[in-house]
Each structure stands twice: as structure tokens, then as C-alpha cells.
Chains A and B, each alone.
Chain A
């Protein structure tokens, strides 16, 4: 599953853009987080990897901004397992193991759209990094 971040502006807020794309392409989208008000908003969705390119294109054609969120990485050399980040995470992607080490679940993490934990790390061990490998070759980083 790949993650994309959809940004809509004031005019687009009331349009059913996402639903149109879902119906047209018959692709399931899982909404991971959404911050929307009358002035616009951001929706983080998860879609199957092999549909990513065409979905991104379809959304962009409708004029919304689509980007691929950076993922969050913890530098295990720097992390001293203080635990400061654990309770901050809205999706419980960070937990303590039985030996009190801090464990980080990349699958659950919302990525750079959240970043709540990043500036709370006293060891500065948490960083937003560009997603590597699969599919980033076709310039998905660029905002349309």
C-alpha cells in the first residue's frame, strides 16, 4: 500500500473529488487522517501500490495538489529509549518493548503529515526522510 497526501483549496472543499476518483477507477482508498475546514484541507490516504500512478494523475487532473508524504525514521544509534515520543503518537506507532526499548512501527506511522514526535525527541533521533525505492522515480515528489 502506498500513501499519498491530497490537498484541497477553498473551492475544492465542497466537491466530491475523492469519491469521483474512487468510483471511476474502482480503487479502494483508506483515509488515515483528514484535517478539513471551510478554507481547504489535507487528507492522507492509503491506496494499493499498483494504482498509485494513475490515481495521482487522476487527482491532479481535477486540480488538487497531490504529494507523497515523507516517512519518519528513527536513528537507533542516537535514540536512548527515553520514551518521550511514545504517548505523543496519535496512532500508537511507537511503543515500549518488554525490555523498555522503544519500538517504531513504520506501517502505522502517518509520516511527515503528522510529525508530532519529531521535535519532541531530545536526542534528535527522529527525522522525516524521503520515501526511497518504489515508484519515486516518476517525480511524484513534485507538487503539481
Chain B
């Protein structure tokens, strides 16, 4: 059948529906019949975009049956349900550890759940649930320890054994949030390096990180979730799995849909399920996930042609530890993948956290499975919702912020004499004097101890004794965070500054102690 280009262009603008091919569809059953015969036309998302660009949507729709997508990234809300089988005498597990990682026991006697982010008690931050899952999938032997209180029917109170995946009854990967449609680009505006789930962020915008496969992401290629929902068969961790519903925090209106998925981990491969360690943040699991999209209609052919240049995300300041963090505009995945972005006129190098190389490999592997006929498509029994709203936590208790305890700082300038500053310390009865320049910007800090010492040693110039490397706080930071910083640097006060380093006030360890009821 030949489609006329002019008729088509009317259709995609949505002005006419009767003219041509809009009504033309194919079904999943038809595609599966072709897969069984070895006739199905399968393209990876990458190839589909090129085809649409070179030959147009009509041709792509006519020729392509399935488009395979893929993503490979750190997916913290992943885990595995395991049934261990019964010991003799039997035990009703109360607490259990695998390779020193505590696992949950949410159900009956020997069912456990390993969460990817649970950390080893012996090697926290380096080894965790994600690694346990990866090791099991790789066929490695792991050590199980369990304790129990003992009951009439389950008398045993302790068990210690080694296991491999072959010894388990069920080993089911069960991930409650995977495949985020898109994610933030993270930066750090502060003066210190921070370690986050978005990896290491160097001070003052010296790098940026992002996550997600952009135009290869499954949900991005079917943003109305026409073909995805409970029962959709997918590539999961190198094996086959299923979408079992919307993932947690699914937020379709915000183009941030997520998937809940499960699959038999015994059939998965270590390449696509790898434990990960984020310094000072914790452990996670890198998951390879790919969804085949049946090109049922012209609309889907067009949607799967989406390019990185059309997918935008926010640049978010992760140095502000709040739910609503400051943003510095938007960038496209095209810019992100180029290796550098521009923030406030400045070039910032950016790199990803998720692997594009592996995402491509997922989509290619899934394509080859379909071509070989070892993977057929399913229609969802219930599509993913398109209108869920992601709410914030209802908090019945408010927490204090720096702004609520800070008070005006007693200041001086660098040209003042030490004697004068000493007098100010006495008359104002403070321990810290903040050194500012003529415009009120932070230059340094001196303590009463510095002044006493300087006077004893006969020093006159402030510049000899002031500390220039000042640790500061921001007004909208939670007090808890500022208080941690005091402890970390073993200091007793933090000047509070705005983004231009203008001094707004000061917060001391006494202020913190009064409010948080603790001494740091």
C-alpha cells in the first residue's frame, strides 16, 4: 500500500482523521505471527529514529513492526524475593543476613526480600543488597545467617549456611521503581564537594551529572503508554520479565513515568544486573531494562522517532538539601550527551550516571531475541495510568531551618585594629566576629580566642589572624544539616551567606543545641 505524503502530513497535524492512514493499524497478534515465521521487522529505537528521519513516518510505519528500547542505570528501588526452603528442624526467620547485608523477612518462615540499598554491616557503602543480587545472579556462593525466637512449629533459633541461586526455590527480581522516563541533571553550587545519589558533584558547578537513556528510554518512546502496562513482557536483567504496573512515584503528567517490574532472576545475567557503590551515599543496583514497542499505528511510529533534542530536563542544585531545590533552567538530552552544558553563561562538563553503551546493548539484544523468535510480545491487561499525581509527604511536624535561628552577625572590616575588635567582642559579648568587605561580603572570621592570642603575642594586623577559609551556611538549609557541618569541621559557628556571599547573619552551636536539644 502506498501512502501519500500530503495526506499524511494532514493527519499528523491532527486536523483530519478521515483522509488516509490514521485508521490503519496492526495488532500484537499479527506481529507475533510474523515473529513466529521469522518475518517481523524489528528496529532498535536508535535505528527507528534514523529511518523516520531519512524516509518519513509513513514508510517507517509501513515497514516496522517492533521498536526495541533500552536503559541501564542505577535503580535503587530494586530488590529480590527469595524463598530459601525449610531447614530441619524448621526455622521462622526473625532476622537474616546474606553476606552481612541485613535482609527483610516480610512474610512467612523462609521468605525474604533483599533490598538493593541495604548495606553490609561489615563493609557499609561498599557492598550491599545490589551486590548480593549481582553475586547470586553470577552463580556465586553467598552466606546466609538467620536468627529466630523459636515457636512450637518452628523450634530452630539459628541457622548458618552457604547458598547459590540453584539452592533457592524462588529468586524473583522485584523492582518497584525502574526505568524513569527522564531524570534531573545535577549540579553543586556550594563550596564543598558533595556525594549524592547523582554521584560526586564538585564545588561551584565544576561538573554536572545526569541519568537516563533519553531517546532510548522505554517510556519516552511511548509517552501515552499505549502499549505498556501490567503483563507487558520485557527484557529485564538479561532475562525476560514483566511490567506489573506503574512504578512508585509514577508521574506521567510531568513526563516522569516509572515501571514496576518482576522477572525470574535465576535466568538473568550478571552483565545486566550489577551491584554499585556510591561513596557516602550507599549501595544500589544497576539494572538493564528494555521494552519492545509494537508499532500498532502511525502515531506510535511517530512517537518512537522522538529525539534527544526534544527531551528536556531541569538542572537542579543538589547542594541545597531541600525537597524543592533551586533550578538553573532546562537542558535537552542532546546537550547532556554532548558532554557539556551552559549554566549562567558558563560551560560545565557533564557526564552520565547510567550507561548509554549498555542501554544500546539492551535494545540490540532484545531486537535479536525477537528476530530469533525466542521473545514474543504481549498486550497489557491494564495500561499504565496516565494521570497519577506524585504527592509530597504529609508532615505533621515541621523541622527548623537555619533562617529560623540565625541572628545578626557582629562584623568588622580588615582595616580595623585588633584592639577595637577585642572591645567589640566584650561589649557585644560574642565569640565570633565576621570579617566583611565594604559591600558586606564575607572575607573571613575571627574568634575571641584568636584575638586573645594575637594580643598576647603583640600582633596588630587582623590579616595575620583571621581565617579566610570560612565554612558557611545558607538560610534555607535545614538546621540539622548546618549542625552536622559544625560537628564535621569541629567549629562553633557558621556565618550565614546568600548566593553572592553577602553575610546575612550567623548561627552558633549554642543556637543549634537550644533548638535541636543536643550538643554537637
Contacts and interface: CB of A to CB of B under 8 A. Distances in A.
Interface string B191-229: 000010001101000011100000000000000000000
Contacts of A88: 200, 202, 207, 351
Contacts of B358: 80-81
Contacts of B207: 87-88
A82 interface: yes
Contacts of B195: 119
A116 B360 CA distance: 28
A40 interface: no
A22 interface: no
Contacts, number: 72
B74 to A, nearest CB: 6
Given A120-B279, A122-B199, A122-B286, A84 B351 contact: yes
Contact of B353 (A84, A99, A119, A124): A84
Which of A100, A102, A120 lies at the interface centre, i.e. has the most chain B CB atoms within 10 A of its CB? A120
A83 B351 contact: yes
Contact of A81 (B202, B279, B357): B357
Interface residues of A, number: 20
Nearest to A120: B200
A86 interface: yes
B351 A86 contact: yes
Nearest to B125: A119
B72 A84 contact: no
A32 interface: no
B284 interface: yes
A100 B357 contact: yes
A123 interface: yes
B413 interface: no
Interface in A85-120: 85-88, 96, 99-102, 116, 119-120
Interface in B6-47: none
B274 interface: yes
Nearest to A99: B357
B412 interface: no
B357 A124 contact: no
Contacts of B357: 80-81, 99-102
A79 B202 CA distance: 22
Interface string B325-357: 000000000000001000000000111111111
A122 B74 contact: yes
A26 B500 CA distance: 48
Contacts of A100: 355-357, 360
Contacts of A124: 126, 277
B278 interface: yes
Interface string A62-92: 0000000000000000001111111110000
Nearest to B193: A116
Contacts of B279: 119-120
A15 B339 CA distance: 41
Most chain B beta carbons < 10 A, residue from A82, A84, A88, A119: A82
Given A96-B339, A122-B278, A87 B360 contact: no
Contacts of A101: 357
A92 to B, nearest CB: 8
A82 B71 CA distance: 11
A82 B352 contact: yes
A83 B352 contact: yes
B116 interface: no
A41 B207 CA distance: 25
Of listed A88, A96, A101, A102, residue having the most chain B CB within 10 A:
A88
Given A83-B352, A87-B350, A122 B202 contact: no
B91 interface: no
Given A119-B279, A120-B279, A122-B277, A83 B355 contact: yes
B124 to A, nearest CB: 14
Contacts of A116: 200, 202
A80 B354 CA distance: 9
Which of A83, A87, A120 has its CB near the most chain B CB atoms (within 10 A)? Answer: A87
B351 to A, nearest CB: 4
Nearest to B358: A80
Interface in B451-491: none
A122 B75 CA distance: 12
Interface in B95-132: 126
A82 B211 CA distance: 9
A123 B209 CA distance: 16
A129 B284 CA distance: 26
A123 B351 contact: no
A83 B274 contact: no
Contacts of B74: 122
B276 interface: yes
Contacts of B353: 82-84, 122
Contacts of A81: 355-358
A88 B349 CA distance: 8
Interface in A113-144: 116, 119-120, 122-124
Contact of B209 (A80, A84, A96, A99): A84
Interface in B264-291: 274, 276-279, 284, 286
Interface of A: 80-88, 96, 99-102, 116, 119-120, 122-124
Interface of B: 72-74, 126, 195, 199-200, 202, 207-209, 274, 276-279, 284, 286, 339, 349-358, 360
24 contacts: A80-B355, A81-B355, A81-B357, A82-B354, A84-B200, A84-B351, A84-B352, A86-B339, A86-B349, A86-B351, A87-B207, A87-B349, A87-B350, A87-B351, A88-B351, A96-B339, A100-B355, A100-B356, A100-B357, A102-B357, A116-B202, A122-B277, A122-B353, A124-B126
Given A81-B356, A88-B202, A100-B356, 4 more contacts: A83-B353, A101-B357, A120-B199, A122-B278
